[in-house]
Chain A
């Protein structure tokens, strides 16, 4: 009788304490592999970056990075489950393992990279915060916005930059803070606010896709001031360096592919290339995949299924899209931009 009780108590205690041991190195990658899909947290919807189309298929530049990671791990860019998260949910969701990676257009900052227990693995888009105003307001510069009512999303660096900018310029403002992006836009377009502020990329997306008729694209202008640095990066948890490496190098692979002129169309011919760098990148000369712990054809799969960075940019936000955002800072370093990938060797 007593022995059985002791055994049961020990078993119970073991069950409890067994749960306590979490976050071993490699655990996240193992979980993704055994699940067979990558859980990718995305924002609620920003045209060009992450937006579900009429068939419910997620598309955009941010979405493409998740697809690239899935292509590297599984050889199939479709093995992704997208989890829409508000800007307030996204970090908790990745901290608590609800998603493996957040592509929620999150700005890379020191606090987030450290105190939140998260890691940023690179920058897929160099953004900055701007202001969208109705043209009829006659404002030419953000310096003229004293006393304005500003629509802004809660819980973002945007909210802090806004307060900092107005404080630094000795101006005042009234914020209207609404959690859902749709509701903020509708408040702005109905005239509840004078100004809508967020990352300039999102402003371009809003202006291109969300202006309610009979108003048009041309009734709104983006002011010239960019008041912050907003490097947007993929976010993973602390603790699994191998998984973080795969996410980091999947993005670098897209950039390297663009730099060496490897596109989704010519990637099969490129397999026959004599250039040693291209042979290494595409796994013709093996070694890179093994070092990263994925299939040797990982870059081939990424480029074939997702495309290189330039292709993804043009298709989603660049000149091949309604957003028509110029490459600007997001051009490769060889073309005067900031996008620079360490060599794959």
Chain B
């Protein structure tokens, strides 16, 4: 219908090469054709050259035995595992440091950013020194510093510092602490925790509705925490409260048993968090300062304390300014985590680099690493865009 009504509109007769519609189409086809040709040319030329130089290609190597050991793994891995598994170990290690880094730097950055606006002179000075110190020195140097501090300042495993009645040990091999022995109940406790999160969300929703209807506030935070911790604890008790622990003890060169947070991971996480939270602090501060002064004055006039005003009035509005630049910082954390290679944390880049060197298949591996970072970054962006839309000012 619509097409017909358009077509029935009076049209000036022009030559086809002067018709903007036809011209537009021609240009677009030419551009797409050129890009396609260039891509085809590069790919076929590369394949051609690889074959001519007899360099192996294809992804078959992923199934072969990797043969190298990785020092810090979240999943079962041994030199007998495949290259695919080694790369997966690297991806998980990257995700671990990125996720923890994002959470911790958001918390620390918000505290510092709010602290810089504090009327307390000393506190606001300290916070601004912090920001200037961390923002103005390259991250790599911070990583080296923290890594050197840990490996030089702590004693060897045989002279480890023991804490908490010989259950936690600090040494240059990391922090060793006891963990519960593996037990089937842990799976159910994890499930209970997920149920707890859902419950907390429901409680928060109910509390908001009630407050909107009656004006009565509800202690949402403590109630949610109670549900999230209480449910798994109940499951644990119901399962007979298994309490066998694996204790770290010195055996030969090093501690055995328990679990360990390794110095490389610690140095990388601390470096990333301290560095990024300086940027986050500035974003939070600018978000709060972007609000009209009337907002805090109105909150004060309503009788809200400074803390309440910050939490209930200022921060929710500031979030609209804060979220978009924060997305970039989250992406930066993820990408900066690849500096791990300098201090020996086995992240994705490390796994891929070793794989490249053992198999000689640089192109395939670089495609994998790019795909991995791209999908992590795009997921973060997608989530943050969704969140941004959710908190955006709804205009009526």
Contact = CB atoms under 8 A, between A and B. Distances in A.
A117 interface: yes
Nearest to B144: A183
Contacts of A187: 151, 344
Nearest to A238: B53
Given A92-B362, A176-B264, A239 B53 contact: yes
Contacts of B354: 88, 154-155, 159, 177
Given A116-B360, A163-B79, A176-B264, A154 B350 contact: yes
Given A117-B54, A149-B253, A174-B71, 4 more contacts: A160-B79, A175-B71, A178-B344, A192-B173
Interface in A172-218: 173-180, 183-184, 186-187, 190-192, 194
A112 interface: yes
Given A146-B252, A179-B341, A237 B353 contact: no
A149 B173 contact: yes
B151 A194 contact: no
Contacts of A186: 148
Contacts of A116: 55, 360
22 contacts: A22-B49, A23-B53, A95-B53, A114-B54, A115-B55, A117-B50, A147-B254, A155-B354, A155-B356, A159-B69, A160-B67, A160-B79, A160-B358, A173-B69, A174-B254, A176-B264, A177-B70, A177-B71, A177-B350, A179-B344, A183-B342, A192-B172
A20 B360 CA distance: 21
Given A177-B71, A179-B342, A95 B358 contact: no
A18 B15 CA distance: 39
Please provide the 9 A-B residue pairs with the shortest distance between their CB atoms, ordered closest to farther. Answer: A155-B357, A116-B360, A163-B79, A178-B344, A117-B53, A117-B55, A115-B56, A192-B151, A190-B151
Interface string A6-38: 000000000010011011000000000000000
Describe A's contact surface by its main secondary structure.
Answer: mixed
Contacts of B45: 19-20
B343 interface: yes
A98 B67 CA distance: 29
A112 B56 CA distance: 11
B11 interface: no
Given A117-B55, A148-B254, A162 B69 contact: yes
Interface residues of A, number: 51
Residue with the highest number of chain A CB atoms closer than 10 Å, among B50, B53, B264: B53
Residue with the highest number of chain B CB atoms closer than 10 Å, among A112, A148, A178: A178
Interface in B38-74: 41, 45, 48-50, 52-56, 67-71
B256 A147 contact: yes
B178 interface: no
A194 B253 contact: yes
A192 B263 contact: yes
Nearest to B260: A174
B254 A87 contact: no
B251 interface: yes
Contacts of B52: 22-23, 239
Nearest to A173: B69
A132 B164 CA distance: 35
B352 to A, nearest CB: 10
A182 to B, nearest CB: 11
A12 to B, nearest CB: 10
B342 A159 contact: no
Contacts of A164: 67, 79
B132 interface: no
A111 B263 CA distance: 35
Contacts of A140: none
